């Protein structure tokens, strides 16, 4: 086991617990939220999937080409139900026994790009955990859509904190054997409660019918205890913990303590971790003020936002803030096997750490610098346009970050035009979108008057998000 041996002043680092908010009064009314069962019969559906086709016309197809498609439908006892000219789509209804013949006919039409059955698709993954409905931050940050493609499998998140409740039902299946740098042994059970809440926000097991879901809910958790029973850590223990996490194969390290960006020892440790492909994420702090210390380039410092996409009143601000994440009234795991609402940048940081794990699971070859770049580029721009000392580059967006991670590229800018008339901004290197890709609008991808756009992986859901709907 390697350790970081630097002569650094031992500094007490206050845990970010001074602003914990009391549990929501709705606790007594918790109820399970489960995905709706499929309709019992075709009568409950908006249409019969077996009787409809979707036809996409080729670019430039004129009036008579469309009429020819409609006429072919009539010949097969079908009809035009509706059309969407801007997207070159036509919806046809045809008897099931004539559908295959009509599909073959239309596939030969020179003005038809694609024809396929109109189908219903299942909703995004929604966990059955009883208190998921209270986890407002997960749908807001686009986690449900992102979970369709990555939930952090194969990635380990090191939680440098007060330990983790080893018996919690939402954490027990996620835990790896860790180390206790406060007492120099292998006992990593939680002695203060903070670490259990942090771990749950990052990676609590989802869909197990127990309490809550974490962001990267298929990631593993490496518990690294760096505090005493009072919840205070030291820079020495944190430095050791970062090095240990790297040695143990963690890809993400989370530290939820006060003022971390101000300590050169931790920045140096994070820089060494980055050389080994490890992303280090830190809470911005809870002073509710503007800190005067500078940036720590290898620490991703995370501020806290509310359910209304406002900066939390307690969230520390300064040049070191990189991004923001939900951090007020976050429903997460607690010591003793339960769950409560917690507030502080202590919980915003592991939310971002869980997303980093999802990104690395989608593309394990990503370097830490690229992970940071994507998190910033895909964030929903809040506060002043572009970077600002409160939100950093904006509130994290899981759906778009995972999509960008999958293709391994950061957002870029285009002229903002929809030259092919399909309703989406075009890929600047492929204005006719022959590859079937468009540039969908991101939030903070670029500025200086250009349209903010992001080239997503082909499976990415289409979203247009100029600004948060809650922004004043």
Q: For this structure, is 161 an active site residue?
A: yes
Active site residue 162: no
> pTM value?
0.71
Strand order of the β-sheet with 321-326 is 179-180, 220-225, 156-161, 252-255, 279-283, 300-305, 321-326
* 173 and 196 both lie in a single domain: yes
Q: Which residue has the tokens 């990052």?
A: 202
Q: Average pLDDT of 417-424?
A: 43
Considering the domain architecture, whether residues 83 and 180 belong to the same structural domain is answered as: no
Do 69 and 129 reside in the same domain of the chain? Answer: no
pLDDT digits (tens, 9 = 90+) for 200-226: 999 999 999 999 999 999 999 999 999
Could you report the per-residue pLDDT of 278-290, keeping only the tens digit for each? 999 999 999 999 9
Tokens of 133: 């409905």
Beta bridge partners of 410: none
Is residue 379 in a domain?
yes
**Does the residue 436 lie in any domain?**
yes
Confidence band, pLDDT 50/70/90 cuts, at residue 51:
confident
Q: Are residues 155 and 212 in the same domain?
A: yes
Range of the domain at 453: 411-472
User: Are residues 211 and 356 both part of a single domain?
Assistant: yes
Looking at the chain, the whole-number percentage of residues with pLDDT higher than 70 is 75
> 376, 403, 430 — which closes off a domain?
403
Helix H, strand E, coil C: the string for 48-102 is CHHHEEEEEECCCCCHHHHHHHHHHHHHCCCEEEEEEHHHCEEEEECCHHHHHHH
For the stretch 217-265, pLDDT in tens is: 999 999 999 999 999 999 999 999 999 999 999 999 999 999 999 999 9
Residues 158 and 264 in one domain: yes
414 is catalytic: no
Percent of the chain whose predicted confidence (pLDDT) is above 90: 66
346: Cβ contacts below 8 Å, ≥ 6 apart: 15, 16, 17, 194, 197, 198, 256, 257, 283, 286, 327
For the chain, the domain total comes to 3
Q: How far apart are CA 205 and CA 214, in angstroms?
A: 6
CA distance 92 to 99: 10
What's residue 85's pLDDT?
A: 75
Q: What angle do CA 139, 143, 145 make, to 5 degrees?
A: 95
Q: Which helix (H) or strand (E) holds 406?
A: helix 398-407
The one catalytic residue in 51, 129, 161, 309 is 161
Catalytic residue among 346, 361, 414, 468: 346
For the chain, the first-to-last Cα distance in angstroms comes to 51
* CA-to-CA separations, 426 to 87, 108, 163, 405, 454, in angstroms, rounded: 13, 27, 49, 20, 10
Same domain, 415 and 396: no
Domain stop point among 68, 97, 117: 117
The pLDDT of residue 118? 84
Together in a domain, 268 and 327: yes
Same domain as 153, residue 214 = yes
The single residue of 194, 211, 427, 437 carrying the catalytic annotation is 194
> pLDDT grade, residue 119 (50/70/90)?
confident
265 and 138 belong to one structural domain: yes
Specify whether 234 is located in the same domain as 152.
Answer: yes
Report the alpha-carbon distance of residue 445 to residue 412 in Å, rounded. Answer: 6
**Residue 6 resides in a domain:** no
38 found inside a domain: no
Q: Is the pLDDT reported for residue 433 higher than 80?
A: no
């Amino acid at each position: 086991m390697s350790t970081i041996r630097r002569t650094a002043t031992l500094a007490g680092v206050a845990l970010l617990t001074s602003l914990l908010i009391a549990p929501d009064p709705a606790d007594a009314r918790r109820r399970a939220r489960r995905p709706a069962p499929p309709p019992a019969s075709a009568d409950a559906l908006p249409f019969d999937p077996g009787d409809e086709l979707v036809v996409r016309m080729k670019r430039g197809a004129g009036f008579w080409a469309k009429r020819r498609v409609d006429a072919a439908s009539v010949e097969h006892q079908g009809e035009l139900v509706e059309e969407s000219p801007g997207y070159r789509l036509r919806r046809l209804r045809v008897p099931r026994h004539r559908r295959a013949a009509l599909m073959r006919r239309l596939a030969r039409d020179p003005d038809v790009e694609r024809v396929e059955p109109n189908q219903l698709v299942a909703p995004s993954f929604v966990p059955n955990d009883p208190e998921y409905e209270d986890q407002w931050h997960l749908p807001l940050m686009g986690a449900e859509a992102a979970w369709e493609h990555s939930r952090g499998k194969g990635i380990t998140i090191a939680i440098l904190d007060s330990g983790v409740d080893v018996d919690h039902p939402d954490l027990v299946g996620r835990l790896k054997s860790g180390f206790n740098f406060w007492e120099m042994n292998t006992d990593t059970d939680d002695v203060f409660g903070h670490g259990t809440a942090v771990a749950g926000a990052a990676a609590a097991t989802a869909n197990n019918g127990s309490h809550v879901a974490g962001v990267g809910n298929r990631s593993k958790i490496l518990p690294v205890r760096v505090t005493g029973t009072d919840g205070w850590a030291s820079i020495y223990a944190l430095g050791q913990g970062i090095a240990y996490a790297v040695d143990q194969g963690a890809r993400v390290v989370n530290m939820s303590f006060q003022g971390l960006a101000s300590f050169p020892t931790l920045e140096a440790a994070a820089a060494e971790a980055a050389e080994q492909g490890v992303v280090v994420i830190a809470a911005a702090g809870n002073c509710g003020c503007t800190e005067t210390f500078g940036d720590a380039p290898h620490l991703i410092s995370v501020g806290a936002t509310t359910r209304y996409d406002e900066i939390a009143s307690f969230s520390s601000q300064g040049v070191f803030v990189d991004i923001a994440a939900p951090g007020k009234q976050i429903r997460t795991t607690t010591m003793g096997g339960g769950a409560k609402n917690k507030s502080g940048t202590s919980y915003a940081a592991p939310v971002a750490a869980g997303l980093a794990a999802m990104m690395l699971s989608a593309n394990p070859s990503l370097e830490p610098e690229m992970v940071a770049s994507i998190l910033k580029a895909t964030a929903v721009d809040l506060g002043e346009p572009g970077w600002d000392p409160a939100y950093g580059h904006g509130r994290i967006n899981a759906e778009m970050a995972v999509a960008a991670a999958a293709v391994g590229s950061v957002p870029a800018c285009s002229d903002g035009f929809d030259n092919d008339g399909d309703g989406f901004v075009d890929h600047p290197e492929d204005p006719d979108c022959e590859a079937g890709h468009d540039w969908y609008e991101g939030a903070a991808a670029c500025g200086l008057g250009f349209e903010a756009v992001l080239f997503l992986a082909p499976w990415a859901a289409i979203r247009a998000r100029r600004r948060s709907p809650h922004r004043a």
